[in-house]
Amino acid sequence: MGLIDNINKLFDHRIRLGIMSILMVNEEVDFNRLKELLDVTDGNLASHTKTLENAEYIKIEKSFIGKKPNTKYIITRVGRKAFKKHIDALEHLIRNPE
Amino acid sequence: MDSKKYLDDISQIKDLMNRSSRFISLSGLSGILAGIYAIIGSLVAYFFLLPGVDDYVTLHNRNFKLIMGILILVAVLSFVTAYLLTTRKAKKNNEKIWDDTTKRLLVNFFVPLVTGGIYILIKLNSQHYGLTASLMLIFYGLALVNASKYTIGTVKYLGYTQIVLGLICAAFPGYGFWFWVLGFGILHIVYGSIMYLKEDKA
């Protein structure tokens, strides 16, 4: 029934899945907090946030706290919708294995 | 298809959602205790301090000050309990207590609450006692709903219930005390117990 189509390739990765899960329940999260929660390296996290940003699932806000640059990540409406669809598809596939 | 992998994905999603907005995880027991403090406080007020049918409450009277004292004591005790229980649990799970989620949760909780508190004090100062319980319930409910953005649990529904109760209370003048007991006492205990049972299962 094309359910498998709802499985989003972009979320088929541990770190991207993790970033989206965190952003779903937090209004905004900064880089270090994501790093701490996901337990990944800077470079690794940066490349995956970039991928999600290019898909317009998340947006990035850069600012300064004092002299230190601070990068915040926020989920977009499109991203929220896409991720919900992905979770639904996962649940369906678990309940009705082919 | 590989349904084992899908299961792993789902449990990872759940785990991260919980950890990144974990504050909720403790509200069970602290909710029950907050409700008990509120009920003890109101019992003391009811039997020793509330004015009889013939008396009036006046702002500078001793009983009034004592009632305010009890209110503040109940609020502080509830807050300290929630803080201690959350810290204890965070330590057990090796988590930091004071992070961005916590900070934002507190700011979002206290903005409506402090606004309401000041508003009530202003009204009391101009001899408007009637709506105090209603206003406390409404502003507390708004504070909960506002803070619930930083949790994935069900605090939101406790908030909505308090708001509705506050509005009903406004429609029934004279019963403020009982609505207050229902909202801050009974509802906290009911909500806390539900959360507590859920936590046990998880």
pLDDT digits 0-9 by tens, B109-121: 999 999 999 999 9
What is the least distance, in Å, from the CA of A38 to any CA of chain B?
8
Question: What's the total number of domains in chain A?
Answer: 1
Q: B103 at the A interface (CB within 8 A)? A: no
**Residue A34 to residue A58: CA distance in whole angstroms:** 13
Q: Is B184 helix (H, G, I), strand (E, B) or coil?
A: helix
Q: Is the CB of residue B154 less than 8 Å from the CB of residue B195?
A: yes
User: In a mutagenesis test of the A interface, which of B20, B102, B107 is the best target, namely the one with the most A β-carbons within 10 Å?
Assistant: B20
CATH of the domain at A90: 1.10.10.10
Q: Is the pLDDT of residue B151 over 70?
A: no
What range defines the domain where residue A87 resides?
A: 3-95
Please name the amino acid found at residue B195.
M
User: In a mutagenesis test of the B interface, which of A93, A95, A96, A98 is the best target, namely the one with the most B β-carbons within 10 Å?
Assistant: A93
Task: Please state the rounded mean pLDDT for residues B95-118.
Answer: 83
The whole-number pLDDT of residue B68 equals 86
Sequence-ordered alpha helix ranges (H) in chain B = 3-20, 27-44, 62-92, 100-125, 132-147, 155-171, 176-180, 188-201
Q: What is the mean pLDDT of chain B?
A: 83
Minimal Cβ distance to A26: which of B9, B14, B21: B21
| pLDDT digits 0-9 by tens, B14-23 | 888 877 765 5
Task: Please state the rounded mean pLDDT for residues B50-62.
Answer: 60
CB contact under 8 A, A26 and B150: yes
CB contact under 8 A, B19 and A33: no
User: Dihedral sign, CA of A90, B24, B185, B175?
Assistant: negative
pLDDT-above-90 percentage for chain A = 49
